Amino acid sequence: MTMLTTQPQMESIPVDLEAMVSIRSLKKEFRRKNGDVVAAIDDVAIDVRPGEFLVLLGPSGCGKTTLLRTIAGLEMPDSGVIRIAGTPVFDSGTKVMLPPERRDLGMIFQSYALWPHMSVLKNVEYPLKARRGDLTKTQIREKANRILGLLGLSEMAESYPSQLSGGQQQRVALARALVGGRRLILFDEPLSNVDAKVRETLRRELKLMQSELGFSAVYVTHDQTEAMELADRIAVVKSGRVEQVASPQELYDNPVSRYVADFIGGANLVEGTVTTVHDDGTVMVETVFGAVKAQGSMHYVGDTVVLLARPERCEVTLENPHAANSWPVKVGRRVFYGAHVEVEGEVNGVVFRAWIKDGSLPDDTTQAWLRVAPQHVSAIRP
């Protein structure tokens, strides 16, 4: 296929030839009606390991779906390199652009895209018939029945999509994606159209199936809970760039920026200026409510930083703890969540959220003390 962009790109990060997907220096721009150019993908480099469940997480319009579609071959990037299982499927330098059907992957959309007039069996057989090659009708039927058996769908082979639950439809879509022996499956927010309780069940089933079958997955969502539950690693996307790639726990405990901290879990965030850097890896930061001791490396005196404290790490007590990072707090709104009570408190005009045990703070309390131990405060970049 003739490329629209032919300038070669330097790959600043070595390509991992053992990765299921390896992306380097990938760029894609769109031009709006008013003439503005938007970078949907801005110099992205990322790998997906064999058997890994990687989630692309970010708000609407951040570029995560465009990135998924470039992997699938449904969008042509402007420049960069994409390899699947070591084979270039897009390379602006060598003018390679393989069509979707030659990329040996499956894709599952929001609607599952099942043929409503076809039975479950015929839906699963369809991709094999479309690219049958040397397969006989009997071989196609055998392959389809085998994958239906693996996913517990044998008894539903003659049913139609309209007769299935959301979870069953998801399984059929997965069976159709896997039937050709594909090792890479792409998911474009496949659970966004079902209610919260069903979505929770489907997440568990999907993760279990992926672990059992061993395929690599790239999954797009804007739901942080979904990302945390499904992912081996999460790539947090902002304005076409990947802000951070890490395990869910690493993202939660050690976000690299305010954006990541605010997107993953509850976060109390306060801006300040570094006044002292200690040899033990802690810093003193001047904020709107005084000096705060925090964990922070690679910071210098005068740096602007954002302090992060998770709500479950914040203590609210009636007595002054007489310890570092303690302030009088005006107690406001409370919300009961079962496992904890979220208390909003105001310190010098800054609203903090703390999670406490039900009953640990009398209902009529309006003034208390807020404390966050220094080991639970992180200084990160703005």
Please write the tens of the pLDDT for every residue from 46-88: 999 999 999 999 999 999 999 999 999 999 999 999 999 999 9
In a domain, 373, yes or no: yes
Q: What is the pLDDT of residue 372?
A: 96
Label residue 10 by pLDDT band (50, 70, 90): very low
- What pTM was computed for the model? 0.86
Whether 329 and 187 share a structural domain:
no
**Section 1-26 average pLDDT:** 62
216 shares its domain with 356: no
Same domain, 241 and 276: no
| Cβ-contact 53, 219 below 8 angstroms | yes
Establish if 347 belongs to a structural domain: yes
Q: Are residues 249 and 273 in the same domain?
A: no
Over range 248-260, report the average pLDDT.
95
Q: What pLDDT is recorded for position 325?
A: 95
| Between 11 and 95, the higher pLDDT residue | 95
What whole-number distance in Å separates Cα of residue 132 and Cα of residue 182? Answer: 15
Gap between the Cα atoms of 81 and 23, Å rounded: 6
* CA–CA–CA angle 20, 51, 103 (5° rounding): 35
- The domain in which residue 215 lies consists of 21-105+182-253
pLDDT at 278 over 70: yes
**170 occurs within a structural domain:** no
pLDDT at 13: 57
CA distance 308 to 269: 5
Read off the pLDDT band of 14 (50, 70, 90). low
Q: What is the pLDDT of residue 327?
A: 95
- Residue 34 within any structural domain of the chain: yes
Tens of pLDDT, residue by residue over 195-206, are 788 788 888 888
Residue 292 lies in a domain: yes
Residue 133 lies in a domain: no
Whether residue 272 is contained in a domain is answered as: yes
The count of structural domains within the chain is 2
CATH at residue 236: 3.40.50.300
Task: Mark whether 187 and 231 lie in a shared domain.
Answer: yes
Domain match, 241 and 284 both: no
| Contact criterion met (CB below 8 Å) for 193 and 169 | no
279 in any annotated domain: yes
What CATH number should be reported for the domain holding residue 291? 2.40.50.140
pLDDT, mean of residues 357-379: 93
Closest CA to 44 of 62, 60, 75, 67: 67
* Residue range 109-128: mean pLDDT, rounded: 89
Q: Which of 225, 253, 281 is the last residue of a domain?
A: 253
Helix, strand, coil distribution of the chain in percent, nearest 5: 25, 35, 40
pLDDT higher than 90, residue 194: no
| Across 167-181, average pLDDT | 84
Same domain, 334 and 287: yes
Position 261 scores a pLDDT of 95
The band of 4, judged by pLDDT with boundaries at 50, 70 and 90, is very low
Cα 102 to Cα 90, 97, 125, 289, 382, distances in angstroms:
11, 10, 18, 59, 43
Of the chain, the percentage scoring pLDDT greater than 90 comes to 68
> In this predicted structure, what is the pLDDT of residue 121?
95
Please, what is the average pLDDT of the chain?
Answer: 90
- Whether 89 and 195 map to the same domain: the answer is yes
Highest mean pLDDT among 1-5, 62-66, 362-366: 62-66
Adjacent-strand bridge partners of 378: 295, 308
Residues 213, 332: one domain?
no
Do 232 and 273 sit in the same domain of this protein? no
Residues 241 and 301 in one domain: no
Domain end call among 229, 253, 277: 253
- Final residue of a domain: which of 210, 230, 253? 253
What proportion of the chain, given as a percentage, has pLDDT over 70? 95
**Is 316 in the same domain as 360?**
yes
